[in-house]
Amino acid sequence: MKSALEFQKKQASGDPISMVTCYDTWSARIINDTEIDCILVGDSASMVMHGHPSTVHADVDMMTAHVRAVAKGAPDKFIIGDIPFLAHRKGLQPLMETVDKLMKAGAHSVKLEGAQGHLDEVSHIVQSGVPVMGHLGLTPQSVNQLGGFKVQGKGEETARAIMDDALALENAGCFSMVLECIPAPLANEITEALNTPTIGIGSGPHTSGQVLVLHDLLGMDPSFQPKFVRRYLDGYGLIKNAIDQFDEDVKSKSFPVKKESFV
């Protein structure tokens, strides 16, 4: 996909939308050669790439640098750049400067978490010609308020609040929205109620598409195995073995050989 309009087309035709996160050029080159529909340069970069305990540590410079790196490697993909912690809560001008930076770095749209208190900002970004993806349910930037990375919308009241926020984000002009870690029946209900495509993570099979963190689906962290992640590779094991093999070859003096040397 190369445009936000294609999200609606896919939804209308009933074709699921696939999205993965990506933060760097070499992974982006691989994704560019796959059938994946779009790339999220998520603020999960803060945890996955920088080792921080939450996405609260992402900032505009970090996100801009990751978007720039991904855009270099994936020229054929639609790229969504995450607006980091509080960058949409500091006033319209700094927010629009953030959007400007992400778009100039190579994003085709931006994503921001939550709805209450910044619906006007969402509308303003949309009316400025920038497609906006919403993000509801478990909004990791609010981890300190949510008391951890927990499933959201289990009770009637919180489910209603998420549904109301989804309708409000659609009304504000979002072209799509992520539903993270909410019960599958609620994700289904929201998807049915909206004209806007939903992209689920940990929210069951009834959304318009699915997203996973690239490093989770590649099995890069053996200590992290949440229920909703399907591992397609033992990336950690494969890469560790390759590095161990190199170490062994160096220490046994079997690397390099003549054909790997200049004569």
Which residues make up the interface to ligand KIV (CB under 6 A)? 21, 40, 42-44, 82, 135, 178, 180, 201, 211, 213
Residue number, 89 or 250, with CB nearest to ligand KIV: 89
Residue number, 51 or 259, with CB nearest to ligand KIV: 51
CB of 160 to ligand KIV, least distance (A): 23
Residue number, 130 or 179, with CB nearest to ligand KIV: 179
Residue number, 80 or 172, with CB nearest to ligand KIV: 80
Instruction: Identify residue 23 by its one-letter amino acid code.
Output: Y
- Other CB atoms within 10 Å distance of the CB of residue 167: 15
Answer yes or no: 170 catalytic. Answer: no
Written in H, E and C, the secondary structure of the chain is CCCCHHHHHHHHHCCCEEEEECCCHHHHHHHHCCCCCEEEECCCHHHHCCCCCCHHHCCHHHHHHHHHHHHHHCCCCEEEEECCCCCCCCCHHHHHHHHHHHHHHCCCEEECCCCCCCHHHHHHHHHCCCCEEEEEECCHHHHHHHCCCCCCCCCHHHHHHHHHHHHHHHHHCCCEEEEECCCHHHHHHHHHHCCCCEEEECCCCCCCEEEECHHHHCCCCCCCCCCCCCCCCCHHHHHHHHHHHHHHHHHCCCCCCHHHCCC
CB 179 within 8 A of CB 190: yes
CB of 225 to ligand KIV, least distance (A): 16
Beta-strand pair 78-82/198-201: unpaired
List 201's β-bridge partners, or say none. 180
Residue number, 118 or 135, with CB nearest to ligand KIV: 135
CB of 141 to ligand KIV, least distance (A): 9
CB of 47 to ligand KIV, least distance (A): 9
Residue nearest to ligand KIV (CB): 42
CB of 254 to ligand KIV, least distance (A): 41
Which among 113, 121, 170, 180 is annotated as catalytic? 180
Active-site positions read 180
